[in-house]
A and B are shown apart, each in its own frame.
Chain A
Amino acid sequence: MNTKIRQLKQELSKAVIGQETMIEGLLIGLLCDGHILVEGVPGLAKTTTINAFSKVFGLDFKRIQFTPDLLPSDIIGAQIYNPKDHSFSIKKGPLFTHLLLADEINRAPAKVQSALLEVMQERQITIADETFKLPSAFLVMATQNPIEQEGVYALPEAQLDRFMMKIVVQHNSEEEELEIMRKGANKSFTEVQKVLDIEELKSLQKEVESVHIDKELEQYIIHLISATREPKKFHLNTLANSIMFGVSPRASIDLYKASKAKAFLRGKTFVSPADIGYVVHDVLRHRIVLSYEARAKGILVDDVISTIVETLPIP
């Protein structure tokens, strides 16, 4: 494993205990310039993790708590009139940052979600007639609470597609919980130090890009993607009635990039089938739309992905 990555993980472990899936997901997001959607119950160190990330990389960090009365101007900023000199000035919103935690994104109405997701895609913000480019390292970690369904605006599939990965955060193991409890009670979480700067992050991103991926594995990724669209073509007849819509071309790009990043994080210079296997669930989970029949039967998207991986032969 890259020494910088090892140092980074060590530093992060000072503030965050466990939650390796979320940390790995955020690292992959940062290395691939993608955004991460995190689903998990409250209190699983989501804010702590992204805060620690900002300190480790020396990046700006802002948090927006999404509420039903939030307006697009609350997050992107607005033009403000100054009565003293009869002029307008731009007040930049919290989106002008490197790392953004969009907490409980599904609590805000569609217009705010659209404003955020557009910025995520374009990486630029237009206020009045002025357009601002966002800083090069820009990662949005949006969270969704799976428990409450009342008074939430579920993200449409087309908008979910903008997220590179959807990570399901689970509770910590008993050992980790014990450590958190002790450290939390004694306030003995140590301060996280800066390990990398933006330039080093950019060089890491270039290293990820240079990770080799074999043509056969590229084909394997294409097969995985195609299987979600045309299951019958891959003899997955049982899935034909379960999938309403397969994944988009963004999924193949993101799976390709995420596999490379995963291989890099594992300290390898080439991608193996296992690297794809490690990230395939996280990349495809929020992009497959199950049919009504499948949902009625209680079939989960993860089960569908597992069946595809289990059926398609690896190179």
Chain B
Amino acid sequence: MFKSYTFKYIYILLLTGLMGVTTLYAQDFNHKFKLSNATPYVKEAVILTLDLNQTNHNVVLFFHFTLKKSPHYTFHRLSAKERGENIAAKVHYEYLIYPLHKGKVPLQFELIQKSTTEENLAYSFSGDRDNVKGLTTVNTSITLTPLTLHVKPLPKGTMLVGDFNLTQTFTKHHATAYEPLPFQVTLQGLGYSPLLENLYPNQDNFTLFKERPIVKVVNSLEGTRSTVTYPMALSHTKSFTLPPLNIHAFNPKTKQSYTLKVEKQHFTVETVAVKSLVDKIDYPTPLKSDWSWLSSFLSYLVVFIAGYFSAISLKWRGKSVATPQHPLKEKIKACKEKKQLLQLLMATDSKAYSQSIEKLESSLYENSKITLNTVKAELLKGLE
């Protein structure tokens, strides 16, 4: 009797030590972890807070802190509040953690200390939109001792953890064959997000249609407040009964198990007389043979042949087309006066026809006896 009390006392002391304030000191700052509950149940909300206080006021400090991802727990950062000045930084982090299995769950951390000087900080602010100046920091990775959660197991058969209530909506219980019978189940409350893979298992006596559940989640220091709606529909050819739904839940705050229920539902389905349907046969034989593919094929063939011969005809036509005359030839032939020809040559390329230009000039202004036709003939010969 005495021994068992002694062990219990030691165990409680240890737990109190873990739940209490854990304070460690680094060189430039100190940090303080606080856990709301070090012995939670599986999937019970735990709040972790971390306070970082700068102690070395000769440097400017920035921090990057996060929990390491792990298959043993999930977490959400609730807030990261920075207070104080550049040389006296105070950062307060709040995390919401859910342990995922019983036993020891180590919480591992990643902390990077970024130290810089006030000059560097001022320089980084001196840039503008078009001239961004980066902040130079010396980054040091700080190793923080992991905290351990001693996670208690849930009662057997527990599907949900938290304080939830269930509402169901069945819009109708009467339908004709194959007509969908929509309904939805909503789970609402505070606790680990109530996402269940198969709320209703598939059964042979009816067809169950499921959609992805609609999830609304708000994380806070209280925990996670969720509303999860499962939209579903049923269908069958004859009347059937939907079996009752029992979801076993556990509330870690009251340490009580409870059951969320949906009573069994009966649906009346009117069968359809097959004779009254217009289409009574599956895969009926076609009324007539479809030869439309042949007409399509022939039309494509005609278009192809037409295109082919059009291309060939261009080649034939091309042979008969005479090479066009040099445009200058026509203009030279059309000139009736020496001045007109001189003007044309000046406009065209005076350097290329400088000899002819000189002849025309001497004829016009120096009484040389060269005729217009001679110059034209020379020019036309040169153009051939």
Stretch in A71-79, A119-127, A271-279 touching the partner = A271-279
CB contact list, A78-130 vs B, under 8 A: none
Beta-carbon contact of A277 and B346 below 8 Å: yes
A137 on the B face (CB < 8 A): no
Across the interface, A309 reaches (CB within 8 A) one of B347, B354, B357, namely B347
- Interface residues on chain A, number (Cβ under 8 Å): 18
Docked pose: A175 CA to B357 CA in angstroms: 24
Q: Mark B344-384, 1 if CB is under 8 A from A, else 0.
A: 11111011001001101100010000000000000000000
Q: Quick one: which of A273, A274, A280, A313 has the most chain B CB within 10 A? A: A274
Docked pose: A306 CA to B361 CA in angstroms: 19
A21 on the B face (CB < 8 A): yes
Beta-carbon contact of A278 and B343 below 8 Å: no
A310 on the B face (CB < 8 A): yes
B339 on the A face (CB < 8 A): yes
Beta-carbon contact of A309 and B346 below 8 Å: yes
Beta-carbon contact of B350 and A310 below 8 Å: no
B190 on the A face (CB < 8 A): no
CB contact list, A301-315 vs B, under 8 A: 305-310, 313-314
B149 on the A face (CB < 8 A): no
Across the interface, A273 reaches (CB within 8 A) one of B344, B346, B348, namely B346
CB contact list, A258-315 vs B, under 8 A: 272-274, 276-278, 280-281, 305-310, 313-314
Q: In the assembled complex, which residues on chain B have CB atoms less than 8 Å from the CB atom of A20?
A: 351
Known contacts A313-B339, A314-B342: does B347 contact A274 (CB below 8 Å)? Answer: no
Beta-carbon contact of B339 and A314 below 8 Å: yes
Beta-carbon contact of B347 and A273 below 8 Å: no
**Interface range on chain B (Cβ under 8 Å from partner):** 10 to 19
Beta-carbon contact of B339 and A277 below 8 Å: no
Across the interface, A278 reaches (CB within 8 A) one of B339, B351, B360, namely B351
Docked pose: A183 CA to B357 CA in angstroms: 33
Docked pose: A305 CA to B348 CA in angstroms: 10
Known contacts A272-B365, A277-B350: does B357 contact A310 (CB below 8 Å)? Answer: no
Beta-carbon contact of A277 and B361 below 8 Å: no
In the complex, residue of chain B having the shortest beta-carbon distance to the beta carbon of A270: B365
Docked pose: A306 CA to B349 CA in angstroms: 9
Beta-carbon contact of B347 and A314 below 8 Å: no
Q: In the assembled complex, which residues on chain B have CB atoms less than 8 Å from the CB atom of A314?
A: 339, 342-343, 346
CB distance from B347 to the nearest CB of A (A): 4
CB distance from A236 to the nearest CB of B (A): 12
CB contact list, B303-340 vs A, under 8 A: 339
Beta-carbon contact of B357 and A306 below 8 Å: no
Beta-carbon contact of A277 and B344 below 8 Å: no
Docked pose: A307 CA to B344 CA in angstroms: 9
Across the interface, B357 reaches (CB within 8 A) one of A277, A280, A313, namely A277
Beta-carbon contact of B344 and A310 below 8 Å: yes
Beta-carbon contact of A21 and B351 below 8 Å: yes
Classify the interface of chain A: helix, strand, loop or mixed. helix
Q: In the assembled complex, which residues on chain B have CB atoms less than 8 Å from the CB atom of A274?
A: 342, 346, 350, 357-358, 360-361
Across the interface, B347 reaches (CB within 8 A) one of A21, A272, A310, namely A310
Q: In the assembled complex, which residues on chain A have CB atoms less than 8 Å from the CB atom of B365?
A: 272
Across the interface, B343 reaches (CB within 8 A) one of A21, A272, A305, A309, namely A309
Known contacts A272-B365, A277-B357: does B347 contact A307 (CB below 8 Å)? Answer: yes
Beta-carbon contact of B343 and A313 below 8 Å: yes
Q: In the assembled complex, which residues on chain A have CB atoms less than 8 Å from the CB atom of B358?
A: 274
Q: In the assembled complex, which residues on chain B have CB atoms less than 8 Å from the CB atom of A281?
A: 350
Q: In the assembled complex, which residues on chain B have CB atoms less than 8 Å from the CB atom of A309?
A: 343, 346-347
CB distance from B114 to the nearest CB of A (A): 37
Q: In the assembled complex, which residues on chain B have CB atoms less than 8 Å from the CB atom of A313?
A: 339, 343
Q: In the assembled complex, which residues on chain B have CB atoms less than 8 Å from the CB atom of A310?
A: 343-344, 347-348
Beta-carbon contact of B348 and A306 below 8 Å: yes
Q: Mark A11-30, 1 if CB is under 8 A from B, else 0.
A: 00000000011000000000
Q: In the assembled complex, which residues on chain B have CB atoms less than 8 Å from the CB atom of A277?
A: 345-347, 350, 357
Q: In the assembled complex, which residues on chain B have CB atoms less than 8 Å from the CB atom of A306?
A: 347-348
Docked pose: A310 CA to B334 CA in angstroms: 13
Q: Quick one: which of B346, B357, B360 has the most chain A CB within 10 A? A: B346
Docked pose: A216 CA to B346 CA in angstroms: 17
Beta-carbon contact of B350 and A278 below 8 Å: yes
CB distance from A70 to the nearest CB of B (A): 23
In the complex, residue of chain A having the shortest beta-carbon distance to the beta carbon of B345: A277
In the complex, residue of chain B having the shortest beta-carbon distance to the beta carbon of A268: B361
Q: Quick one: which of B339, B348, B350, B360 has the most chain A CB within 10 A? A: B350
Docked pose: A202 CA to B231 CA in angstroms: 101
Docked pose: A217 CA to B357 CA in angstroms: 17
Q: In the assembled complex, which residues on chain A have CB atoms less than 8 Å from the CB atom of B342?
A: 273-274, 314
CB distance from A307 to the nearest CB of B (A): 7
Docked pose: A274 CA to B366 CA in angstroms: 14
Q: In the assembled complex, which residues on chain A have CB atoms less than 8 Å from the CB atom of B344?
A: 310
Beta-carbon contact of B351 and A272 below 8 Å: no
Q: Mark A184-215, 1 if CB is under 8 A from B, else 0.
A: 00000000000000000000000000000000
Q: In the assembled complex, which residues on chain A have CB atoms less than 8 Å from the CB atom of B347?
A: 277, 305-310
Docked pose: A313 CA to B347 CA in angstroms: 11
Q: In the assembled complex, which residues on chain A have CB atoms less than 8 Å from the CB atom of B354?
A: 278
CB distance from B337 to the nearest CB of A (A): 10
Q: In the assembled complex, which residues on chain B have CB atoms less than 8 Å from the CB atom of A272?
A: 361, 365
CB distance from B334 to the nearest CB of A (A): 12
- Contacts A274-B350, A281-B350 given; 10 further ones with Cβ under 8 A? A273-B346, A274-B360, A278-B350, A307-B347, A309-B347, A310-B343, A310-B344, A310-B348, A314-B342, A314-B343
Interface, chain B (partner A; CB < 8 A): 339, 342-348, 350-351, 354, 357-358, 360-361, 365
25 contacts between A and B (CB under 8 A): A20-B351, A272-B361, A272-B365, A273-B343, A273-B346, A273-B361, A274-B346, A274-B350, A274-B357, A274-B358, A274-B361, A277-B345, A277-B346, A278-B354, A281-B350, A306-B347, A306-B348, A307-B347, A308-B347, A309-B346, A310-B343, A310-B348, A313-B339, A314-B339, A314-B343
What 4 A-B pairs come out closest when comparing CB atoms?
A277-B346, A309-B347, A310-B347, A306-B347
